[in-house]
Amino acid sequence: MHLYFNASLKRWSVVAAIPLIAACTSAAPGMHFDQRASSDATGSATAGNGENANAVLKPITVQLVKTEKQLREKQVTQDISALIAKPVAYKIDSGDVLSIVVWDHPELSSSATVAAVGYGGVGADAAVAATTAPPAGFMVDHDGTIQFPYAGTLKVSGMTQDQAAHLLSTKLSRYLRNPKVTLRVQSYRSKRVYVDGEVKTPGLQAINDIPMTLVEAINRAGGVLPTGDQSQVVVNRGGVNYQVNLPQLVQRGVNPSTIMLQDGDVVRVRSRDESKVFVSGEVVSPRALPMHNGRLTLNEALGESGGVNPLSGDGSQIYVIRRSGTDQIVYQLDGRSPGALAMAENFELSPKDVVYVAATPLANWHRAISLILPSALSGAVGAVTPATNK
């Protein structure tokens, strides 16, 4: 009689606890999306307590995927027309070192500064000479002029090599008959650009007679590292940042070699870690995923995370949370539909998107029981199991 009374008491305790557990399943651990949320006139979702959550809930459909794709194709991150120009001849400027040869008059060329004169020696002395000796040739002063025998002071800043050679030949014609002058830039030291970020050898790149395009500067720096994002190349000119998406330019038929760099430009190749997508919730391996040159689909994100957890994940509640200005847009995909995988493959994610897979009601119920009554399940099993007398 005593054993029967205890078993009955356990049964009634478990039965009495069921309404309490059912009422508390909403307090189960994890993120929850209230499906009972209504929508106000602005289309933003309203939480169950009446407070505006500033979140727009949109189901992922075939029409939505087409609309999003059209918006991405029309979207232009920034107007880069200011960076596109035609190659022009190099113009001499202050700091450049010129090599000038007057044919049949070697005594004039000997007036140039000769590197390492008087710095003889080997070993450490030679290394010091290489860094302290003035460069050979005619250096353009800070005011853009050079000094040349018979010609005097010449203003060559802003001229091309051919223009400077013609000017010098005109000056020397007063003293020499039909002078022939060869003038070349021996050391390019006046114009430079800076390349940093995810490249092999970041640093200074001097602009020379080869047109300094964006592709040329990146290649001189050793190319983009595997950790670099080719869709996130920033060119800073005059304090203005221009976002350059190299794969997108090629896709649109724009040659990246048409982007010409100028003196003082700073090129930065951002890391892929700066454009991540976060996958959480009921997936096999929650993680942060870097995008592949600015592109990652919902299907790829779920696949790289191991997919929806078959034990606790609800395939009908796959969400993509995206920030849009001050509001947030929540996209929902019903993974149980036949064309869900096709829609997920065509639905492209944006940087900083959060992909969340909700738990099934049974999983939430089980977690609520485990938190509120850790021994409820074991007690229920023991209550319904008849005692056996040995």
Condensed to tens digits (0 to 9), the pLDDT of residues 96-112 reads 999 999 998 888 775 55
Tell me which residue of 306, 326, 311, 294 sits closest to 362, measured CA to CA.
311
Give 109 or 50, the one with higher predicted confidence: 109
Q: Is the pLDDT of residue 15 over 50?
A: no
Its pTM surpasses 0.75 = no
Query: Which residues are bridge partners to 324 per DSSP?
Result: 327
Residue 169: how many other CB atoms lie within 10 Å: 18
pLDDT band at 389 (very low <50, low <70, confident <90, very high): low
pLDDT digits (tens, 9 = 90+) for 248-264: 888 888 888 999 999 99
pLDDT digits (tens, 9 = 90+) for 294-346: 889 999 999 999 999 999 999 889 999 998 777 789 999 988 877 788 888 88
Residue 279 has pLDDT above 70, yes or no: yes
CATH architecture group of domain 97-187? 2-Layer Sandwich (3.30)
Distance CA 86, CA 260 (A): 7
- Phi, psi dihedrals of residue 326, rounded to the nearest 5°: -90, -15
- Tell me the angle at which helices 376-384 and 2-23 cross, rounded to the nearest 10 degrees: 140
User: What superfamily does domain 33-74+275-369 belong to in CATH?
Assistant: Outer membrane lipoprotein wza domain like (3.10.560.10)
CB 34 within 8 A of CB 47: yes
CATH, range 190-271: 3.10.560.10
The whole-number pLDDT of residue 76 equals 52
Burial bucket for residue 275 (CB in 10 Å: 0-12, 13-18, 19+): buried
111 CB neighbour count, 10 Å cutoff: 12
386 against 3, higher pLDDT: 386
Which residue ranges make up each domain of the chain?
33-74+275-369, 97-187, 190-271
Are the folds of 33-74+275-369 and 97-187 the same? no
Adjacent-strand bridge partners of 235: 242, 267
Count Cβ atoms below 10 Å from residue 142 Cβ, excluding itself.
Answer: 9
- Confidence band of 203 (pLDDT split at 50, 70, 90): very high
Distance CA 22, CA 75 (A): 48
Q: Which residue has the tokens 């010409």?
A: 260
Query: With helix as H, strand as E and coil as C, how does the chain read?
Result: CHHHHHHHHHHHHHHHHHHHHHHCHHHCCCCCCCCCCEECCCCCEECCCCCEEEEEEEECCHHHHHHHHHHHHHCCCCCCHHHECCCCCCCCCCCCEEEEEECCCHHHHCCCECCCCCCCCCCHHHHHHHHHCCCCEEECCCCCEEEECCCEEEECCCCCHHHHHHHHHHHHCCCCCCCCEEEEEEECCCCEEEEEECECCCEEEECCCCCCEHHHHHHHCCCECCCEEEEEEEEEECCEEEEECHHHHHHCCCCHHHEECCCCCEEEEEEHHHCEEEEEECECCCEEEECECCECEHHHHHHHCCCECCCCEEEEEEEEEEEECCEEEEEEECCCCCCHHHHHHHCECCCCCEEEEEECHHHHHHHHHHHHCCCHHHHHHHHHCCCCCC
* Whether residue 382 has pLDDT greater than 80: no
What lies within 8 Å, CB to CB, of 301 at 6+ separation is 277, 279, 289, 349, 355
Counting Cα atoms < 13 Å in the Cβ hemisphere of 287 gives 14
Mean pLDDT to the nearest integer, 201-220: 94
Q: What are the beta bridge partners of residue 276? A: 290
Q: What's the one-letter identity of residue 248?
A: Q
Confidence of residue 270 (pLDDT cuts 50, 70, 90): very high
pLDDT at 192 over 90: yes
Percent over 90 (pLDDT), the chain: 42
pLDDT digits (tens, 9 = 90+) for 17-30: 555 555 555 555 55
